[in-house]
Structure 1
Amino acid sequence: MVGVNGNKVGHLFENISSFVRQCIFSVLNVGPVPSHIAFIMDGNRRYSKKQNLIDGNGHRAGFSALINMLKYCYELGVKYITVYAFSIDNFKRRPEEVVSLMKLMQEKIDELTKEESIVNRLGIRIYFQGNLKLLSDHVRSAAERAMVKTSGNSKAILSICVAYTSTDEIVHAVQESCEEKWDEIRKNNDGGNLIRLEENVKDKDEHRIGVTNVDRHMYMSVCPDPDIIIRTSGAARLSNFLLWQSAHCLLYSPAALWPEIGLRHLIWVILDFQRNYLYLKEKKKQS
């Protein structure tokens, strides 16, 4: 009987919380709502130490925070959500820690793709962005399965950056752009005389690589540039995350560690975004 009553109280609390969120989001939707919010999920290990948790439980708490933030962003009407889950630099941590994180990542990826998961209930499509060749075979396979399984979802997009740094993304995009342009040159000249092309200034201009070429080959080309980047734990740095895409976005660094992030932090940054919306919009026009 106690368990039944506890479930009823839990459902009642969730219904009340959902109603309150709907009221708040209805007010926020009167103003501009960001299309894309990106998160640097910083502070899982510090949270674990702070709460005296065993290894891995800080990241498990962080996963719960991610699920809640996904739900809040979806209810607010944010179309694109991006999270920085694992940097290439994180591979430099202790080998046993990396192995533990990879196992946890595989577990949570599989959890995300279950039929009853929040991702499928809300119709969220998942992309994994980064140098996926650096991942273990099991994690890479899990990521590939997740992208296939959610490919039919279209209501929102979750980009999970793993084995990622922005400098690696930029180098990758430049390399892809060079290869594409070289193939184009060879096709246009039928593999023939490239000296003639060098002598023709007009042709040289036509075959230069520009910003649009690099943009198209970015890992993050499936999303518009972020409107807001949120980094938890109070650190005011991007840590090699979305450097190419963040020229005109709002940066927010709450003191809360990632597992501690909640609805109030999201509401605050949305209000700040709306307050600065015209200024940010003007800056984008000038670029």
Structure 2
Amino acid sequence: MIFRHRILLYNHCKSVNNSKYCNVELNFSLKRIHNTIQNVFYKVGYFCLSLPIISSISSIIQTFVLIILSYGEVPTHLSYIMDGNRRFAKSINQPLKNGHEIGSTSLLQIIHFAKTVGVKHLSVYAFSIENFNRTEKEVQLLMDLLVEKLTDLSQKIADRSNNKHEIFKGIQIKVVGDLSYLSTEVTSKIKEIEKRTTISDPSNVFFNLYICCPYTSRNEIFHSIKANIKAKKQQGDTYDISESSLEREMCLSKYIPTCDYLIRTSGATRFSDYLMWQSHNQCSFVFSDTFWPDYGFRGFVKNMLSYSYFKSLYSWNKVEAFAFKKHSCLLASQLAKVETLKYSVFDSRILEKQIFFPVKIITRALHSGRNNVFYEDLKMAPKAVSIIERN
């Protein structure tokens, strides 16, 4: 099984790294020497990774790690806010289009990683309704790129003759959002893509990919309420507007009602009106500092390990609480020993105080005075702040 996965992942790693290498142009600028150096390192790095020997070694390592992760706790529904394409392009002195191109290649990587570890549903925030406020040229670029990449992916999924495309077997693509914002041509192509990847037998569906475009939670909830009011007028008192009826009419909730793990890249710490309804129940949130085009195997493994660790810890605490209720005669001294042992091993705050906090102090001392901040450059204080108290 590992050998078969390794061959598939080898072809995938090689094509992904080749694509990233080809989408980076060598641009030299003396005015932006730092970006020029990053540009060269990025180009050389992905050239090396696309070499057959290195691709073979990395595919063996990646396959081994992914198979190990598949035996642990993994989210059923994993979601990404793919942010940072434009800032990534600027950081390596590239045109805007190249940043989006490399970002689409990163999505192909994550699809394969998620499918290999056992994630059943992957949703990505591809285009917000608010993004229509961008320039017409950029919006057209994003729409063309979306249709091009999804068409290419759907052809690979539908291709049964080529063994190289076996990693995409059993994937269904659904474009979720308010399609009325899109042109007739784009909408027809999207429906064709969905039709091509639709699998009639549910037992043959191994993975669902949801592309949220154009989408916002406010728009989704608004249309759900509107549909429920319309049904109420038609059916009268026989129709009851409830939480489940609202959920049935939502774009994404009709396929998968909840989200287990939501990750946003690029360092921004906001939701941008994404999956506000679906992330209400036991959803874990992560805000990664990595730009989306740079998000790859290391970032994915780190996030999956974090999810598996805290999910297992949460399950263990529930079992421990149940055992305490069942055996309430346990001595207080024994309970104190259990608590001390548990927190000495698992509590990350102790590790932070003993190891990471001194490292932070040393780092700040070394870098003190290098990043001067002026009062005029500070952002305005927020008008309202929300605080969640956790026991």
TM normalised by structure 1 equals 0.82
Deviation at 1:121, TM superposition (A): 3.0
Q: Which residue of 2 aligns with 1:125?
A: 172
Give the match's secondary structure for 1:225: coil
Structure 2 matches for 1:261-276, cutoff 5 A? 261-276=295-310
Q: Is the 8 A contact 2:66 2:113 kept in 1?
A: no
Q: Cα 1:212–1:279, aligned 2, differ >3 Å: closer, same or farther?
A: farther
Q: Is the 8 A contact 1:112 1:118 kept in 2?
A: no
Deviation at 1:178, TM superposition (A): 2.0
Give the match's secondary structure for 1:114: helix
Matching residue's letter, 1:236: T
Give the match's secondary structure for 1:160: strand
Structure 1: runs of 5 or more not aligned: 1-5, 186-202, 283-287
Higher Cα radius of gyration? 2
Tell which has more relative contact order, 1 or 2 (C-alpha 8 A, sep 6+). 1
Structure 2 matches for 1:193-232, cutoff 5 A? 207-220=239-252, 221-232=254-265
Q: Cα 1:53–1:83, aligned 2, differ >3 Å: closer, same or farther?
A: same
Give the match's secondary structure for 2:108: helix
Q: Distance in 2 between matches of 1:280 and 1:151?
A: 36
Q: Which residue of 2 aligns with 1:67?
A: 108
Q: Distance in 1 between matches of 2:297 and 2:233?
A: 49
Over aligned residues, Cα RMSD in angstroms? 2.2
Structure 1 or 2: larger strand share?
A: 1
Q: Which residue of 2 aligns with 1:255?
A: 289
Q: Is the 8 A contact 1:83 1:159 kept in 2?
A: yes
Q: Which residue of 2 aligns with 1:143?
A: 190
Q: Is the 8 A contact 1:165 1:241 kept in 2?
A: yes
Q: Is the 8 A contact 1:113 1:120 kept in 2?
A: no
Q: Cα 1:66–1:131, aligned 2, differ >3 Å: closer, same or farther?
A: same
Q: Is the 8 A contact 1:249 1:280 kept in 2?
A: no
Matching residue's letter, 1:81: L
Q: Cα 1:38–1:280, aligned 2, differ >3 Å: closer, same or farther?
A: farther
Once the two structures are superposed, what CA deviation does each residue of 1:10-32 show, in whole Å capped at 9, x if it has no partner? 44443433322232123223321
Matching residue's letter, 1:208: D
Give the match's secondary structure for 1:83: strand
Q: Distance in 1 between matches of 2:83 and 2:103?
A: 9
Deviation at 1:174, TM superposition (A): 1.2
Q: Cα 1:137–1:279, aligned 2, differ >3 Å: closer, same or farther?
A: farther
Q: Is the 8 A contact 1:166 1:242 kept in 2?
A: yes
Structure 2 matches for 1:46-61, cutoff 5 A? 46-61=87-102
Answering whether residue 142 of structure 2 is matched by residue 101 of structure 1, we say yes
Structure 1 segments (4+ residues) deviating >4 Å: 116-120, 278-282
Once the two structures are superposed, what CA deviation does each residue of 1:153-184 show, in whole Å capped at 9, x if it has no partner? 61100000001101000111111122223333
Q: Distance in 1 between matches of 2:245 and 2:93?
A: 49
Matching residue's letter, 1:106: V
- Among 147, 159, 175, the alignment partner of 2:210 is 159
Between 220-229 and 162-171, the greater mean CA deviation after superposition: 220-229
Once the two structures are superposed, what CA deviation does each residue of 1:119-144 show, in whole Å capped at 9, x if it has no partner? 98332100000001101222212211
Between 131-140 and 107-116, the greater mean CA deviation after superposition: 107-116
Q: Cα 1:119–1:240, aligned 2, differ >3 Å: closer, same or farther?
A: farther
